[in-house]
A and B are shown apart, each in its own frame.
Chain A
Amino acid sequence: MKDKRVYILGGYQTDFARNWSRENKHISAMMREAYLGSFGATEIDPGDIDAAFIGNFAGELYCMQGHLSAFFVDFDRRFVGLPTCRFETACASSAVAALSAMAYIQAGIYNLVCLVGVEQMKTVNAAKGGEFLGTAAWYEREAAGIEFSFPKLFGKLGDEYDRRYGLNDEYLARIAVINYNNARSNPNAQTRNWFMNFEHANTVGKYNTVIGGRIKVTDCSQVTDGAVCLYLASEEFAAKYAEQRHLALGRIPKILGWGHTTAPIEFARKITDSVENEYVLPVTRQAILDAYRRAGLSDCWELDTIETHDCFTTSEYMAIDHFGLTKPGESWKAIEQGVIEMGGKLPINPSGGLIGCGHPVGATGARQLLDAYKQVTGTAGDYQIPGVKKVGTLNIGGTATTNVCFIVGK
């Protein structure tokens, strides 16, 4: 890693509040906008791009369109002939695309890879979308014939915490509120103008119904449409890029460490496997530890902020102790003490996370990396945390089946 650094040169996120189906637009229009925006944000010469990697979960289901990587060559005449590839690992699709881009760069094959994460989900109603999302679990065993299978599965994650350590759902409500509050400062967040307060998140009502088990509407990230485009570069390219812009190379964020693990796909098996472990999801914990080790970090307190995968409040509850903010089972303490809030000791999801910013599945990993870039370069605007040097990200696919953790910093 030390010899083959991979840099992030910035990029662009579409407004996750938009409904591209209502705009009657093809999924490639979203990719095109993300690409054009990234071009404007970074002023990268399209002729310098060596390859384009696309992260997408289920274009075939939501849009009847696979082979999304091929659309990239439509965005500039110079792209015809460019190597492109699409990656799929459910909600971790674009994080895995980023890992693959890193591998190519570190192998010396490419100097500059354009990474696009994209998902268009509002093409179908909530029930149908829930069914499609079920394919990120073991569909036959965990999702077939079950309405909203994923909230139910992540409800079981909360149940397991409750069984092992005790869990007060008020802390889950507080996680939702923190993410919504953070999203209000993010101009691209889906929920930036939505109403939320603790009473609402903590109360079952006409508008905050139970979706499955202990999961209410406010515990869920919302499906949405969105795309993110960013650039990963070799040190050689980053140095040239920095020089052209009269920047010191040291000011450009790089990937300091990464972890990538896969757990058995079935949620019940994960729980059975971890019964003797103090961590509920040890395979997820391992991805984080691997990233710390590769980045040379001793613990989470060397990070300035975290962008984690809060597809449900229970998954953020899990992330808190798995990142090591508290001992296993004591995530509530970090919530209680304000550690994870803006201004806290280690804020989580300044962007609003998946609950506040939105969760276009295949775009989320790339969105986290772009937000990490923004925090490190001081360009996150109203959701900037002062003086950020290192950011941790955690992107999970399925029920924490595929786990990807990055440490991004200067």
Chain B
Amino acid sequence: MIDTMRNVVVLGSSGTIGSLIGGLIAQMGIKVYFLSRSLDRAKSGLERAISQARSEVINRNVVCGDYEHLLESVLKEADWVVECVTEDLAIKQKMYEKVDQYKRPDTIVSSTTSSLPLTELSRGRSEEFQRNFLSTHFFNPPGKMLACEIATHPGTDPKVLDRMKDFLERELRRVVIPVNDIAGFAGNRIAFLLFNQITALAEEHGVEMMDYLIGPYTGRLMPPLATLDLVGLDIHKAIMKSLYENTDDEMHASLILSDYINKMTESGCLGNKTPTKGGFYKRLESGESVFYDPATCDYVPAIKPHIAFVEKAKNLIHLGLYRESFEVIREARCKEADIVMDILCTYIAYSYSRIGEVTEQKLGIDGINKVMSFGFNWAAPSLIVGMLGGRKSVIQLLEERELEVSDFLKDGREEVWQIPSAGKYFVAR
């Protein structure tokens, strides 16, 4: 609908998400200022952006600098300021105060937060700032994960939302999902509830067993606890805290963090970012992985689980027989199969129950489908409904487990069978 951006400022460009978003924008031939606390830090972000583009030529569109020397001057020509600084309300508010002081009246400012309310973030800012302020929540790594949740606050000018949405879709090739300004938006709200449930189950069944049971064959490219190692347990903890404090729903009790996660973060076992200390997984020099044991707070050797129904389901997926693999899961009668079915059913129940709360009601399940597929590489909730035999069958499964059955599931349209193209979400591992 609109002109493109000519000058973009990335605040917090030394971090992973800031540098990679900045890189995507630079790839479009748009001038991007990579700002950080120091020039060296900004330059390290540029290196990451170059690695993502697999091309050094993008540096022609990038200017690196620090806040002290460059912030004031570049804000005057910025069409869009993308704020990617530390996920801390006070730090962000302080940054916005400076931005408000120097930016052009029509400069769009967006936050990449997914947990801090926009109303709080923009408190005290000018009316112009408020009108041009919204959230653009990218997923990591943005070069591969195309989802972008976009949220506004009551003061956001609808034209700004339209302009941003148009730019994100056309220029940055994002799959844009409008979401409500509520902690975790849609994606993190749903995914992290499940992550947390799986961490709780790991106390009883073990880390390796949980990643084996809820592995890629259940409709995700990565096992869940390996994903948390990638995210970082400090981030997981912060997200759970925010979700617990700022949301209230039928599964609120499932948002409480297990004690052992606190112990892990206190001892510096944060995941992939602390390879020596490890996370849920620790890779030894020999190349073998050992697994965190919540009971002893130590690492234990692999047990290499082998459960008949899991192996059978994987073999069917190996041959492209997706529906048949889920029949095996559904028909299996053992405690491990119950765990898998409980998680799949919770995923469906919780996703459908969030329609209207995290996304607009008129979107139905489509918005949540998109964010789970393009933001997490998980099979969409409606796809899992199809895999488990359709709505009628799934409602029965949910009722058996005393899970909430949303009206959107009861009365919604029967989902179109998305196989074969959705086969990519079911990995034979």
Contact = CB atoms under 8 A, between A and B. Distances in A.
A24 B427 CA distance: 6
B238 interface: no
B286 interface: no
B201 interface: no
Contacts of B146: 193
B320 A205 contact: no
A207 B55 contact: yes
B419 A36 contact: yes
A29 B58 contact: no
Interface in B168-212: 173
B147 to A, nearest CB: 13
SS of A interface (majority): loop
Interface in B27-81: 27, 29, 53-58, 60
Contacts of A203: 56-57
Contacts of B319: 25-26, 28-29, 32
Contact of B57 (A23, A40, A197): A197
B58 A193 contact: no
Contact of A195 (B55, B144, B419, B427): B55
A206 B56 contact: yes
Contacts, number: 73
B24 to A, nearest CB: 9
A159 interface: no
Nearest to B314: A24
- Interface size class on chain B is 20 to 34
A208 interface: yes
B239 interface: no
A36 B419 CA distance: 9
B429 A24 contact: yes
B423 A22 contact: no
A18 interface: yes
A200 interface: yes
Nearest to B316: A29
Interface residues of A, number: 29
Contacts of A193: 143-144, 146, 173
B318 interface: yes
A11 to B, nearest CB: 13
Interface in B135-186: 143-144, 146, 173
B320 A29 contact: yes
B267 interface: no
Contacts of B55: 195, 200, 205, 207-208
B104 interface: no
B318 A24 contact: yes
B428 interface: yes
Given A205-B56, A207-B56, A28 B320 contact: yes
A32 B320 contact: yes
B92 interface: no
B391 interface: no
Given A15-B424, A36-B420, A29 B318 contact: yes
Nearest to B54: A207
Nearest to A19: B424
A37 interface: yes
Nearest to B29: A197
B427 A205 contact: no
Contacts of A18: 424
A337 B89 CA distance: 55
Given A25-B318, A25-B320, 7 more contacts: A23-B427, A24-B427, A25-B319, A29-B319, A30-B320, A36-B420, A203-B56
9 closest A-B pairs by CB:
A29-B320, A24-B428, A32-B320, A33-B420, A207-B54, A195-B53, A199-B57, A200-B55, A36-B420
27 contacts: A18-B424, A24-B318, A24-B427, A24-B429, A25-B319, A25-B320, A25-B428, A26-B320, A29-B319, A29-B423, A32-B319, A32-B321, A32-B420, A40-B420, A184-B173, A193-B144, A193-B173, A195-B53, A197-B29, A199-B57, A200-B57, A203-B56, A205-B57, A206-B56, A207-B53, A207-B54, A207-B55
